[in-house]
Structure 1
Amino acid sequence: MKTTRKNTLSTRHGGLLILAAAWLLIYSGCAPSAGQNAAPPAGEELPVITVSSRPVTTYTEFNASLQGSRDIEIRPQVDGYLQAIFVDEGAYVHRGQSLFRIDPASYQEQLNTANSLLLSAKAALENASINVEKLTPLVQNKVVSEVQLRLAQSAYESAKANVAQATAQVQAARINVGYTVVTAPVDGYVGRIPFKTGSLVGKTQAEALTVLSENKEMHAYFSMSEVDFLRFKEDFPGADVPEKIARLPQVELLLADNSIYAVKGKVELTEGQFGKTNGTISFRATFPNAGGLLRSGNTGKIRIPSQVTGALLVPQEATYELQDKIFVYALTDSNKVLGKPLTITGTTGNYYLVSGGLKAGEKIVYQGISRLHDGTVIRPQTISADSLFRVASL
């Protein structure tokens, strides 16, 4: 009997152990796995900004070439050998300053000859005058005939005309002697000088001695395509094109090194029609150049400003490009990031102007986007977009 009871207890205990093990297996199979229904672990801490709209100034840029307000070809007015060159290429000269001298010897001889002829003509005039004075009382006293007096008066008038002609020849010869020294007609910079001392130069030669650029004011010439011109007419107020140009704000000049010229200019001129070959219409902007920084032949870009009252601004460094589209990483409710394509309408400084893809008030990742992909969890560190915009505007 004792043996039977021990076996019964052992069997009962074994069954309980089996039942407990089964419950453990069932519970472990039904219990949620680690991390399920729990918040995902926080990732890298990255700065985020809230996208907002604000009034901004945008710029439309056009390639431009610069010329002095007057680029004057310096040409010889007399023929001869170039005896002296008084200036060097690129020198700044003042009005009236000597630039070149052409051998004056032959023209000085012409002046001497003209002066001699003038003296001779004056002597003949004096002789004719004496004859008239001598014959006048004789005719009055009827000593000689009136015909002789008329002949003397005619000779006097002829001698007078000869003096006038000789005087003109002296003036012409003196002018030619003056032309042998070529002077600057305005203040400006000397261009290339293709001739050397001893070169034969003349009035009919094709090439100028040099080009003198007057650059107290500089003209920047630029062109608009037909599309740009239509947009210009729509964006700026005015009943016609001259009125629109008059109302244009001052424009900026972007130099070749991407720096902004210190003084703003004004658009003054437009051509009346589009070019037949390139389909563009030309404009001209004028810039003061008191410091002489700008020179003829410089290139740059004209920047025409326009005001946008409410533009959604996105920093360019917060974007990435994929298949010719611009994206940002937007922050979702669970601090996950999601790439969104943007519709870009323009730029201002280092900001994109966005018309689609985002709404004002959404948050985007500002930096560290190269390490992200859709669904990445981050720890957002909010920074002020206003402070970024103020720094970018300085």
Structure 2
Amino acid sequence: MRLHLHGLVCLAAVTLLAGCDRKPKQPPQHTPDVDVVVLHTQPVTLKTELPGRLSAHRIAEVRPQVSGVILHRLFEEGQVVHAGQQLYQIDPRPYQATLASAKASVEKARASVFAAQQTVNRYRPLAKAFAVSKLDLDNAVSTLGQARADVASGLAAVQSAEVNLAYTKMFAPITGRTGRTLVTEGALVTANQTDSLVTVTELDPIYVDVTQPVGTMLRLKREYAAGQLRSAGDEAAEVHLVLDDGTPYAQPGRLLFSEVTVDPSTGSVTMRALFPNPDGLLMPGMFVRETIEEGVRPDGLLVPQRGVTHDAKGQAQALVVGGDGKVAVRNLAINRSIGTDWLVDSGLAAGDRVIVAGTQSAKPGSAVNPHEVRIDGVKLVPVGAAAPGAN
């Protein structure tokens, strides 16, 4: 009996030791699913978009050059006026009186000239006969000179009075649209006052001012010199305009490279474009975007922006599924953004499968289960699935 129990104990010990040597079975590893976009080359139109604001081509602030009371306002606020059109009438009566007085002074001076000339004519033969002294003749000649000077001074006063009288009629210096007037009939205005009576703004054509880094301006100038930009005249590239609500402006403009200045504090430049505005649709102060077509890249490679990340140094990277089903990291050289895509210069090629969803579980060197998708707006649609609304 004792021998039988000893055998059972030994058997149990051997069984326990054998169980300790066995390793627990590992659960099967799950291959993560990822969504990929297969890249294809395609013709890509290269454009540069420059945000900016509209500014008037010319602005004239109308101020009085003489003092007086406004008798009439001869335009409607917001009306288009033409250069030389009368805008205001200042009371001319004080200046008419000044002009009449100046003309009377001229006539008086001319009468004095006549009298002095007669005196000189009489004194000259008498002086030769020593009937009058030489001093009397000299005084008579001096009086004649003073009278002639009075005539010249009076004529200048007449001219000044005529100018001041003309200033009582205030004209538009340029063709443009008037703003709101700051005075009404009966208001007293003073010569060269600080406040303008009305502002006339020329809207056709109109400027678009954009501020960009100096590198952008230099690149555009190089592309224009190389013939990559469409020309719109002497030293001007053709540009197009997109309004604040996203609608394109019908008429093209001209980007002027000559009117640029570099801000030393920011290193940026202000580039100016000129656009026709016959309908007055464009107004100063509006926010717009200029687009410049730089040409077409026939083999452009577009990568969805959601499939591109940046490391701590700012290097653009993308996760790609290789032919062996494993994930690899690619460093990218990005040219620019086009819509929701990046235009890539290097780092990727046609046929590459870029991961656009599931990147959290996709580690470099690990195997993944790729599913090809296409991007429809903000949605990922499996390739081969029916488009929304299709029968």
| Global fold match (TM > 0.5) | yes
The answer to whether the aligner puts 1:266 opposite 2:255 as a matched pair is yes
Q: For each residue in 1:49-108, what CA deviation from the matched residue of structure 2 results, as whole angstroms up to 9, or x when unmatched?
A: 983232x33222222222232212211111222222111222111111101122222222
Q: Kindly state the Cα deviation for residue 314 of structure 1 after the two structures are TM-superposed.
A: 5.0
- Give runs of aligned pairs for residues 196-215 of structure 1, distance below 5 A: 196-215=184-203
Aligned identity (percent) is 29
Determine the C-alpha separation between the residues in 2 that align with 1:289 and 1:86: 26
Whole-angstrom CA distance in 2 between matches of 1:83 and 1:125: 41
Unaligned runs of 5+ in 2: 1-36, 227-232, 311-317, 354-371
Indicate the larger mover: 132-141 or 71-80: 132-141
1:33 maps to: none
Pairing of 1:1-394 with structure 2 (within 5 A)? 51-54=40-43, 56-225=44-213, 228-229=216-217, 237=225, 249-261=237-249, 262-276=251-265, 279-307=267-295, 309-312=297-300, 321=306, 345-348=335-338, 353-354=343-344, 359-360=349-350, 365-366=373-374, 379=384
The Cα of 1:188 is off from its aligned counterpart by 1.6
* Native 8 Å contact 1:215 1:289 kept in 2: yes
| Range that drifts further, 361-370 or 190-199 | 361-370
Offset of residue 218 of structure 1:
1.9
Q: Structure 1's 166 and 331: CA in aligned 2 closer, same or farther, altered over 3 A?
A: same
- Whether the aligned pair in 1 keeps the contact of 2:242 and 2:288 (CA below 8 Å) is yes
Q: Aligned in 2, Cα 1:372/1:121: closer, same or farther, shift over 3 Å?
A: closer
* Whole-angstrom CA distance in 1 between matches of 2:339 and 2:375: 18
Change (3 A) 1:71 1:372: closer
Distance 1:51 1:80 in 2: 76
Displacement of 1:171: 0.9
What is the distance in 2 between the residues matched to 1:247 and 1:77?
40
**1:112–1:174: structure 2 CA closer, same or farther, 3 Å change rule?**
same
Offset at 1:212?
Answer: 1.8
- Report the RMSD for the aligned CA atoms in angstroms: 4.2
**Do 1:312 and 1:360's aligned partners in 2 also have CA atoms closer than 8 Å?**
no
CA positional deviation for 1:197: 2.4
Structure 1's 124 and 297: CA in aligned 2 closer, same or farther, altered over 3 A?
farther
Write the deviation string for residues 165-209 of structure 1: whole angstroms up to 9, x where unpaired: 011111111111111111012222222322222222223422212
- Distance, in Å, in 2 between the alignment partners of 1:248 and 1:172 is 46
CA distances 1:280-319 after superposition (whole Å, capped 9, x unpaired): 321212223344443333332222332353453559xxx6
How far off its partner does 1:357 sit? Answer: 8.5
Partner Cα distance (2:136, 2:379) in 1: 120
- Shift of the alpha carbon at 1:320? 8.6
Q: Which residue identity lines up with residue 154 of structure 1 in the other structure?
A: S
What does the per-residue CA deviation read over 1:336-379, in whole Å, with 9 as the maximum and x for residues that have no partner? Answer: xx9x9997643457875345796435796557687758xx6x64
Mark the runs of 5 or more structure 1 residues left unpaired by the alignment. 1-47, 239-244, 383-394
Structure 1 length normalisation: TM-score? Answer: 0.65
Alpha-carbon distance between aligned partners in 2 of 1:369 and 1:126, rounded to the nearest angstrom = 97
Distance in structure 1 (CA, Å) of the matches to 2:351 and 2:236? 34
**Structure 2 CA distance for partners of 1:104 and 1:324, relative to 1, 3 Å:** farther
Aligned residue type for 1:266: L
Q: Is contact 2:205–2:275 with CA below 8 Å preserved after alignment?
A: yes
In the superposition, the TM-score normalised over structure 2's length comes to 0.66
Q: Partner of 1:269: helix, strand, or coil?
A: coil
Q: Secondary structure at the match of 2:48?
A: strand
Change beyond 3 A, Cα 1:191–1:369 = closer
AA aligned opposite 1:269: S
Aligned AA (1:281) = V
CA contact (8 A) 2:63 2:192 kept: no
Give how far 1:266 is off: 2.4
CA distance in 1, matches of 2:344, 2:200: 48
* 8 Å Cα contact 1:53/1:360 also seen in 2: no
More helix by share: 1
- Alpha-carbon displacement from aligned partner over 1:224-279 (angstroms, at most 9, x marks no partner): 135645765776658xxxxxx97663222222332333122222434443253x55
Give a deviation string over 1:1-51, Cα, whole Å, max 9, x none.
Answer: xxxxxxxxxxxxxxxxxxxxxxxxxxxxxxxxxxxxxxxxxxxxxxx9983
Q: Is the contact made by 1:256 and 1:299 (CA closer than 8 Å) also made in structure 2? A: yes
CA distance in structure 2 between the partners assigned to 1:228 and 1:346 by the alignment: 12
User: For the Cα contact (< 8 Å) 1:65–1:222, is it kept in 2?
Assistant: yes
